[in-house]
Amino acid sequence: MSATAASPRFVLWREVVFAYLAPALCAGAGGLITRQPGLMIAAVTSIAGTSAVVAFLLGMWLQHSQTGIAWLRHAAPAAVAATFGLGATALAAVIAELLLRTSWFAERIRIDVPLAAAVASTIVAWRWSSIHRKENQ
């Protein structure tokens, strides 16, 4: 990287937009190709929506919780991503199960919500950790 190039920054709104668009387009295309209207609807609701919400909440927490997470700044990005990915997946699985038991949500959220949370949290944590690691070097 040259001395004149700007250092990368963690920009929350960009992370949230991509966290919504990427799974919406991928799952939507999959639903279109396989002619599954349920998947096309889930692509822009339970899959992309969960991904965007997780990216927003985790990104906000990582940006604004600077005091108690000093170890995160020095940990390897893969370790940070794995930790948050597994944690978000477990929490999302519990939330999806509670939603299924207490409301009218489709059975597919049992899979959609934890998978979307896993992917979004892993990517956001990895990007945040990588950017902060570069800034500290």
The predicted-structure confidence for 59-100, as pLDDT tens digits, reads as follows 999 888 765 677 777 888 899 999 999 999 999 999 999 999
Give the domain ranges of the chain: 12-136
Predicted pLDDT of residue 6: 56
Buried b (16+ CB within 10 A) or exposed e, 5-41: eeeeebebeebbebbbeebbeebbeebeeeeeeebbb
pLDDT above 70 coverage of the chain, percent? 91
What's residue 88's pLDDT? Answer: 96
Type of residue numbered 80:
V
Q: What is the pLDDT of residue 63?
A: 84
Q: Which residues contact 54 (CB under 8 A, 6 or more apart)?
A: 19, 88, 92, 116, 117, 120, 121, 124
| Mean pLDDT, rounded, for 3-29 | 83
pLDDT at 66: 64
pTM of the model: 0.86
How much is the average pLDDT of 100-126?
A: 91
Report the half-sphere exposure of 84 (CA within 13 A, side-chain side).
Answer: 28
Query: Is residue 110 classed exposed, middle or buried when 0-12, 13-18 and 19+ CB atoms within 10 A define those classes?
Result: middle
